[in-house]
Amino acid sequence: MEENNNLKKIQEAIESLPDNFSILEEQIDVELQMEYFEFTKDKDNNQGIDDFEAAEQQLYDPDIEDTEKKRLLVRLAGHDKVEAFRIIERFQAQAEGMMRNWAILAIQESRMILQSSLLDEQQVFISTGLGGKGQNIRYFITLLNQDTEVDFTDTQKKLISTEFQYFLNKSEGELEEMNFVKGFATGLFLFPLKKNLQDIFKSFIDECNQYGNFLREDVIITNVKQLSLDEIKTFLKQEEEESEQEDENDTEED
């Protein structure tokens, strides 16, 4: 019941979004995103910058620690000036690893602040671990064979790929990648944020199962990260153990 209420609240929040929301396109680790947003809450990181040229020089100074460069990028992103945006943009173009991703987040914040200032209306920015494209969110999915110790047949693989693509296209989604391993099919796909994802999966699985009832109705979907095979197996093992525990509890109550 609580899970259904949470899903309902999430759906209501999504439906109330304005049409001009923006989605982070890049795939950036959620923990780094949370660290960035925590930085923006710190008053010390919200101080204005008077000398943009000096700030830019500091970003490229090898003697300045990454923590200070992170702070500079957050402070630059808080300005509603094109000059600040360009400084972040130039830095991001040559940065690598974690600092590049941090700069990408700063660019998104800077762009949002500029747009809010120019258009005189609040901008909404949405970020997930897997990013997105346009107004579509990217998801990672795991489809399960009824017997996870058995490979899908070639016919089943073709059916899964073609039917999934068909149902996504109907909803203005896009299949980016589909892979098959023993007992599982995994994929990356884009789907409109404001459309109901659950509806297409019921239809898709029902359609596939007309040809042998080989897919489980349960699927694993996340927009946080791509799961490894070991992570998928660990998740399924935990689900199985929880289910067995619930069965034992029900038996004891009877």
Give the range with max mean pLDDT: 141-150, 195-204, 229-238: 141-150
- The model's pTM is 0.75
Structural domains in the chain plus CATH codes? 2-126 (no CATH), 134-245 (3.30.70.1290)
Is residue 241 predicted with pLDDT exceeding 80?
no
Per-residue exposure over 151-184, b if at least 16 CB sit within 10 Å of its own CB, e if not: ebeeebeebbeebbbebbeebebbbeebebeebb
Of the chain, the end-to-end C-alpha distance in Å amounts to 23
- Looking at the chain, the whole-number percentage of residues with pLDDT higher than 90 is 51
Reported as a single tens digit per residue, the pLDDT across 37-61 is 899 888 777 778 889 999 999 999 9
Name beta bridge partners: 139: 189
- pLDDT mean across residues, the chain: 85
User: Minimum mean pLDDT among 19-23, 48-52, 88-92, 112-116: which range?
Assistant: 19-23
